[in-house]
Amino acid sequence: MAERPSWDEYFMSIARLVSGRATCLRRKVGAVIVKDRRILATGYNGAPAGLPHCSETGCVRERLRVPPGERHELCRGIHAEQNGIVQSANHGTVIAGATIYTTHHPCSVCAKMIINAGIVRVVTDDGYPDELAADMLAEGGIAVETLAEAASAPPGRRAPTDRTPPAKLPRP
């Protein structure tokens, strides 16, 4: 019998699946926001709802040769983490205290949103060249782990969101 994936592996596999919906020409990113082992929201990167995708308009950042991690204001797309946070707000879902699983390390804009949204943990699958984002997340007290680090941490050192059972609902 195959070993069951850890919760971190499970939610990251969903983030990878979500990234398949991304419409960015440079990088496909998916994010899943989880609290008490329940998925609250998902997001992927691409143009805002109702606007043409970059596959139709072309990539401004590519045309201008903007390196990754710089000049985010030149991108017409919204990032996966931003889409997940906005989706939560649109549906009135409280994400304070949650973990966000994202296929790539958040940029500095997403890091600020993660901090202000009250997300307490970021689990990522891949890096991103944005030192300011890493510094701000650390300064904000946000636990950041790569999936490999999270999976190899001894049980007593894993983040509480990985070990805490789901909250019990009050009985009627």
What's the pLDDT score for residue 59? Answer: 92
Q: Is 70 a catalytic residue?
A: no
Among 70, 81, 131, 139, the one annotated catalytic? 81
Q: Which long-range contacts (CB under 8 A, 24 or more apart) does 64-67 make?
A: 67/129
Other residues' Cβ atoms within 10 Å of the Cβ of residue 65: 6
Q: Which residue has the higher pLDDT, 60 or 169?
A: 60
Q: Answer whether 0.75 is exceeded by the pTM.
A: yes
Q: What is the number of alpha carbons within 13 Å of residue 167 lying toward its C-beta?
A: 8
Pairing of strands 30-35, 38-44: antiparallel
Span 75-115, pLDDT tens digits: 899 999 999 999 999 999 999 999 999 999 999 999 999 99
pLDDT one-digit tens code per residue, 122-132: 999 988 878 99
Please determine, for residue 159, whether its predicted confidence score (pLDDT) is greater than 70: no
Q: Give the single-character DSSP code of 78.
A: B
- What whole-number distance in Å separates Cα of residue 144 and Cα of residue 148? 12
**Single-letter amino acid, residue 17:** L
DSSP tag of 20: T
